[in-house]
Amino acid sequence: MPSAPALLTLLALGSGFVAALLAANLMTAGHARIAKRRALLEAVRLKREAHHRRVERALAAFDSAFDDIEIEFDPVPILTPRPRVSGGGRG
């Protein structure tokens, strides 16, 4: 029958092995999550760039179609908010 120190040593080795496996699993999951997030961010960046290119082309087409028309706008005064009355609530 094994002695208590030998059992404790085996238990410590086993728990260390299990801890190492768990840490490796968590690190792998973390790396996969980071890689997936990077791929998603790259896809979003590419979609934004494509959208900006489409908008630029549409604006260029609009400008070329209506290049000879000049539109001027009269300045519009900016409305200022009404001053607040202290006390609040309904009177």
Chain segment 5-51, per-residue pLDDT in tens: 887 888 888 888 888 888 888 777 777 888 899 999 999 999 999 99
Does the residue 38 lie in any domain?
yes
Burial 34-61 (b: 16+ CB within 10 A, else e): eeeeeeeeeeeeeeeeeeeeeeeeeeee
Q: What is the domain count for the chain?
A: 1
CA atoms within 13 A on the CB side of 3: 2
How far, in Å, CA of 52 to CA of 61, rounded? 14
Does the residue 30 lie in any domain?
yes
- Domain containing 54 equals 8-64
pLDDT at res. 51:
96
Does the residue 2 lie in any domain?
no
Bigger pLDDT: 65 or 2? 65
pLDDT at res. 39:
94
Does the residue 72 lie in any domain?
no
Does the residue 86 lie in any domain?
no
How far, in Å, CA of 35 to CA of 28, rounded? 10
Does the residue 88 lie in any domain?
no
Does the residue 70 lie in any domain?
no
Does the residue 20 lie in any domain?
yes
42-90: per-residue pLDDT in tens?
Answer: 999 999 999 999 999 999 998 888 877 777 878 777 777 666 666 655 5
